[in-house]
Chain A
Amino acid sequence: MAMELEYDRSLYGVEHKAGPFEITDEIIDRANSSTGESGLAFTSDGGAQELGYKGRIAPPTLPCILVRQVSLPDVKVKFGKTQMHAGQRVEPKAPVYSGDQLTASSHLKDVYAKTGRSGTMVFVVWETTFTNQDGTVVAEVQESFAKRE
């Protein structure tokens, strides 16, 4: 008998908006501090301009932090008792500058089951696109949550 996943399929195709997120020097400083980033482009306007940017930029993983502020609906997966964060991946598309105003748009990408040493798990995958005030897509973040038996 095939494993029939029960969850709220009506969430497919629905975009969930969040923001704006104002990118300040303070936010960039905190992101740099958390990863030990000291590159010129991330620490000063002058350094960034020397490297060809119009001003100081945020580290490319910043959207991974911002995405935690996006409120996502419950997918209502009827499986297992334990849910955990399973991973993130980010694809930077354009520089994020200090002073930018970013908005996020998230949609349900996939719900699937897999088996492994830990037994069967169901993964819920959300995809979030970050866009700046000019309408330029600056990053796409994929985030997974796992439910296990």
Chain B
Amino acid sequence: MHSHSVASDDSRATVEQYVKWIQVLRKRGHTVDGIVLTEHRQFDSQKDYSSLASQFDVLILKGSELDTRYGHFLVYGVTEALTKAIDFSDVRMDSRELMKAARQHDAIALPAHPGRFGIGLTDYIAQGETFEDVSIVERFNGGSRPGENERADELCISHGLLGIGGSDAHLTSHIATCMTDFNAVIKKESDLVDALLSNEFQPVWLADTLNGSSA
């Protein structure tokens, strides 16, 4: 649900490397069905990973991770209309406006790594900001430092929020360190948005998938 390829300025992993590493994870007995590429501050509608996806039997979806004045937000189901309504490169956009615009254009935006010290939603809430449209956050984040996922846990419990899991991979071997287990079958980006709106999902760590849980 959260990964970066070389299209992001701070990643060194190619999409091909990710899907090959997933084959390794599968051989080790883990269940990994797909990935969502969430490149920083951009969305490339022209990028087509369908041949890689079919060659390696890995679902490859595209989203974005946007910088906002209230931390980073993951956006799923990005449409052309949304890219026209929102300047994806604006690092000071109001995430509340982003969330509203996303829903208006059939997408969904939710806070990434909310427990991250300094730029996580937890800190902004502590400063008195309110985010009425937030009902889902990234509860498990593979790039978190000690204590940050625990803060996300506390946020979910105290505010009654649902959580997803995302590896936040920037390196090949970091892909799928944590994931999201959906009840629904997901084949395309709009399925993912519907599945998030259904509230039927849970965050999982890679180790949790050894028994066949879908992710």
Contact = CB atoms under 8 A, between A and B. Distances in A.
Interface residues of B, number: 15
B92 A112 contact: no
Interface residues of A, number: 13
Looking at B9, B87, B90, the one whose CB has the most chain A CB atoms below 10 A away is B9
Contacts of B53: none
B9 A114 contact: yes
A144 B10 CA distance: 11
A112 B41 contact: yes
Nearest to B94: A1
Contacts of A117: 116-119
A116 interface: yes
Contacts, number: 33
Interface string A108-149: 000011111101100100000000000000000000100000
Contacts of A1: 92
Nearest to A120: B91
Contact of A3 (B72, B91, B119): B91
Given A112-B41, A114-B40, A115-B72, A2 B92 contact: yes
B90 A3 contact: yes
B102 to A, nearest CB: 17
Contacts of A112: 9, 41, 89
A3 B69 CA distance: 10
A1 B68 CA distance: 11
A3 B92 contact: yes
B67 interface: yes
B11 to A, nearest CB: 12
Given A115-B72, A117-B118, A123 B9 contact: yes
Contact of A115 (B9, B87, B117, B119): B119
A117 B123 CA distance: 12
Nearest to A113: B91
Given A2-B92, A2-B93, A114 B67 contact: yes
24 contacts: A1-B92, A2-B92, A2-B93, A3-B90, A3-B91, A112-B9, A112-B89, A113-B67, A113-B89, A113-B91, A114-B40, A114-B41, A114-B67, A114-B91, A115-B67, A115-B119, A117-B116, A117-B117, A117-B118, A117-B119, A120-B91, A120-B92, A123-B9, A144-B9
What 8 A-B pairs come out closest when comparing CB atoms? A3-B92, A115-B67, A2-B90, A113-B91, A115-B91, A117-B118, A3-B91, A114-B67
Given A115-B91, A117-B117, 19 more contacts: A1-B92, A2-B90, A2-B92, A2-B93, A3-B90, A3-B91, A3-B92, A112-B9, A112-B89, A113-B67, A113-B91, A114-B67, A114-B91, A115-B67, A115-B72, A116-B119, A117-B116, A119-B118, A120-B92
Interface of B: 9, 40-41, 67, 72, 87, 89-93, 116-119
